[in-house]
Amino acid sequence: MVGPIQCAECGQEVIATTAGRYKRRYCSPRCRACAYCPTHRAGLTDRQRERRAQRRGELAVDPVPLSAKEAAMIAASAEAMARGDYLTDAELDTLLAREA
């Protein structure tokens, strides 16, 4: 069929030519994309779920485990902060120099 038809998505008038190809149903690539999404929603959703699961799997990296000494330092620091004891820069430098 050659002649004016209405876009299947927005209703705008379109000149349909079948010059050896499929019949034109949409006025623009935007309308074609808008029509594609609802008709293929299940497949798009499945692929999106797969990609998200894959990304979560890639991001779920085990952190480097703390040594016993590091865990003790963190616990002592948390206890000191709970008491309101804060180290000055000089005190921290001397502690780190002594442990190194």
Given a contact cutoff of 8 angstroms between Cβ atoms, the answer to whether 36 and 56 are in contact is no
Q: What pLDDT is recorded for position 81?
A: 83
Q: What pLDDT is recorded for position 18?
A: 67
Same-domain pairing of 74 and 47: no
Q: In this predicted model, which residue has the larger pLDDT, 23 or 8?
A: 8
Same-domain pairing of 48 and 73: no
Q: 52-65 burial, b for 16+ CB within 10 Å, e for fewer?
A: eeeeeeeeeeeeee
Structural domain including 46 reads 3-59
Q: What is the tally of structural domains in the chain?
A: 2
Highest mean pLDDT out of 18-22, 62-66, 81-85 = 81-85
Q: In this predicted model, which residue has the larger pLDDT, 20 or 11?
A: 11
Indicate the average pLDDT of the chain.
81
The single residue listed with the structure tokens 């990296």 is 61
Given a contact cutoff of 8 angstroms between Cβ atoms, the answer to whether 66 and 51 are in contact is no
Q: What pLDDT is recorded for position 58?
A: 66
Segment 47-75 mean pLDDT: 80
Same-domain pairing of 25 and 50: yes
Given a contact cutoff of 8 angstroms between Cβ atoms, the answer to whether 77 and 92 are in contact is no
Q: What pLDDT is recorded for position 59?
A: 58
Segment 16-37 mean pLDDT: 79
Which residues lie below 8 Å from residue 56, measured CB to CB, with a gap of 6+?
none
Same-domain pairing of 7 and 53: yes
Same-domain pairing of 7 and 55: yes
Going through the chain in order, the beta strands assigned E by DSSP cover 3-6, 13-16
> Does 3 score more than 80 pLDDT?
no
